[in-house]
Amino acid sequence: MLQIAFLRSQPEVVKERLAVKHFSEPNLVDEIIALDDERKKLTFQFDDTKAKINAASKEIGMLMGKGQKEEAENRKKEVEQLKTVLGPVQQELDEKEKQVNDLLLRLPNLPSSLVPKGRTPEDNEVVRTGGSKPELPASAVPHWDLTKKYDLIDFELGNKITGSGFPVYKGKGAKLQRALIQYFLDYNTQAGYTEYMPPLMVNEASAYGTGQLPDKEGQMYHVTVDNLYLIPTAEVPVTNIYRDTILKEADLPIKMTAYTPCFRREAGSYGKDVRGLNRLHQFDKVELVQVVQPERSYEVLDEMVAHVEKLVQSLGLHYRILRLCGGDMSFASALTYDFEVYSAAQEKWLEVSSVSNFESFQANRLKARYKDSNGKTQLVHTLNGSSLALPRILACLLENNQTENGILLPPVLQSYFGSEMI
């Protein structure tokens, strides 16, 4: 959530940055400021009335002490009259504060000055590429055929049990999935990240805290009876560990990693781009989250990008890193780098990771703060990244490493899987 003080001090800058994200309601900035003006007037009225009540109450005590009962009774009547004014002012003030907060929640985070202008994925900026484009045998097929050939994943069975987008991994497919998860977690913990195993459902406050609500309610599975949400990513529960918390500067940076299943409705997705593992409603992902001092967040963002890049390199995949344009960024992000790996059998790039700096946007919603060396309490910065999302990584590993004799696994996975080849 953006801070009201910044909106008031630089409204035109806020509108200009919102335009980079193609935000359709820039008038909200003026509405918020106008409502905040009304809130300030009501706050002054409330405080002034409260001060008069306190002063009169003190005076009543003094008058009673002097035996001036009639004057004291008159002052009591004045206090009662002031109290009848105070109640409605308090009610109106609470309503005005709610209106300001509700509108603030609708504003996305401001994009960094590093964000390219643009509206669609075609406008994203390629930062760099790595790895080699694989040369496949003439008999090469896409992963949905490979998973059937080697009996690794049963898409039809998942459709029977639950529905489309809920595959069943079995045999060596389940083992490879487990091997990837363990390798990713080991890679992250060896780099100093602490592993967590968080809940797979969160309450409304947690979803609001990281920016999933009110922006993405249509993409989350909602358990209506208990008003809980299935997590779309481990970012949500892990970042909320520090909701309503004041940290010490010595505690920072905080580095966390977690494996969880993720659940996304993916409403509106259809066609060839959702075939096989390309887009699922339930999938596995290993996540990174960092909580850091504000002045270090962009340095840490670069470190996280380098960390994920080395992980992708270790799998021997052809990849590219994109700096997302304003129109393709998430609601909460200030700057995002996407990782895509090349699917040789499908002849297309598939996204496998997003690494983002949210600056203080999530922290302001979460009330996640720390005391600096001067004893001043200020908001932390939060960052997160996929390290990695498994479905498309698995798809590319299967497709890009297929041979006439089977699927040759990258050396880093062979000890986890227990074999060189499927």
Q: pLDDT of 170-185, one tens digit each?
A: 999 999 999 999 999 9
Residue 279 marked as a ligand binder: no
Rounded (5°) CA angle 137-141-143? 125
**pLDDT given for residue 105 in this prediction:** 94
Q: Is 132 annotated as a binding residue?
A: no
Residue 269 has pLDDT above 60, yes or no: no
Confidence at residue 299, expressed as pLDDT on a 0 to 100 scale: 98
Q: What is the mean pLDDT of residues 154-165?
A: 96
Residues 6+ apart with CB under 8 A from 149: 141
Residues of the chain with CATH 1.10.287.40: 4-106
Predicted confidence (pLDDT) at residue 368 exceeds the cutoff of 80: yes
Please give the average per-residue pLDDT across 290-304, as a whole number.
Answer: 98
Residue 270 has pLDDT above 70, yes or no: no
The answer to whether 264 is annotated as binding is: yes
Residue 354: both structure tokens together: 């997003």
Phi, psi of 221 (to 5 degrees): -80, 125
Token readout for 135 is 């040369």
Using the Cα atoms of residue 196, residue 200, residue 205 and residue 206 in order, give the sign of their dihedral.
positive
Write the CATH number of the domain with boundaries 4-106: 1.10.287.40
Is 195 marked as binding a ligand?
A: no
- pLDDT recorded at residue 59: 86
Determine if residue 353 is labeled as part of a ligand binding site: yes
Q: Please give the average per-residue pLDDT across 16-28, as a whole number.
A: 96
Lowest mean pLDDT among 81-90, 235-244, 282-291: 81-90
Measured in residues, the chain has a length of 422
Q: Per the annotation, does 97 bind a ligand?
A: no
Task: Give 73's pLDDT tier (boundaries 50, 70, 90).
Answer: confident
The segment(s) of the chain belonging to CATH 3.30.930.10 are 121-417
Q: Is 351 annotated as a binding residue?
A: yes
According to CATH, what is the number of the domain 121-417? 3.30.930.10
pLDDT-based confidence at residue 55 (cuts at 50, 70, 90): confident
CA distances from 35 to 101, 246, 289 (A): 10, 29, 35
303 carries a ligand binding annotation? no
Supply φ then ψ for residue 309, to 5 degrees: -60, -45
Measured in whole angstroms, the distance separating CA 304 from the mean position of its chain's CA atoms is 15
- Tell me: is residue 266 an annotated ligand-binding position: yes
Q: Does the pLDDT at position 101 exceed 90? A: yes
Q: 352 labelled as ligand-binding?
A: yes
The tens digit of pLDDT for each residue in 302-325 reads 999 999 999 999 999 999 999 999
Q: For residue 267, what pLDDT band results from cuts at 50, 70 and 90?
A: low
Give the tens place of pLDDT for each residue, 406-418. 999 999 999 999 9
Task: Name the pairing type of β-strands 254-263 and 282-292.
Answer: antiparallel
pLDDT at 142: 96
Spatial CA neighbour of 33 closest among 55, 56, 53, 4: 4
Q: Which pLDDT band holds residue 54 (cuts at 50, 70, 90)?
A: confident
Token couple for 269 = 């997705």
- Residue 61's pLDDT band, with cuts at 50, 70 and 90, is confident
- How does residue 85 score in pLDDT terms, banded at 50, 70 and 90? confident
pLDDT at position 268 is 56
Angle, helices 69-106 vs 27-65, to 10°: value is: 160
Place of tokens 């998942």: 158
Q: Flag whether pLDDT at 281 surpasses 90.
A: yes
| Joined tokens for residue 310 | 């080395």
Confidence grade of residue 64 (pLDDT, cut at 50, 70, 90): confident
Q: What is the per-residue pLDDT for 40?
A: 96
Show the tokens assigned to 338: 């996407």
- Do residues 195 and 185 touch, judged by C-beta distance below 8 A? yes
Residue ranges with strand state E in 367-416: 368-371, 377-379, 381-389
pTM above 0.85, yes or no: yes
Nearest to 229 by CA among 211, 242, 244, 255: 211
Is the four-CA dihedral 173, 179, 184, 185 of positive or negative sign?
Answer: positive
Give me the pLDDT at residue 319, please. 98
Average pLDDT estimate for 264-274: 70
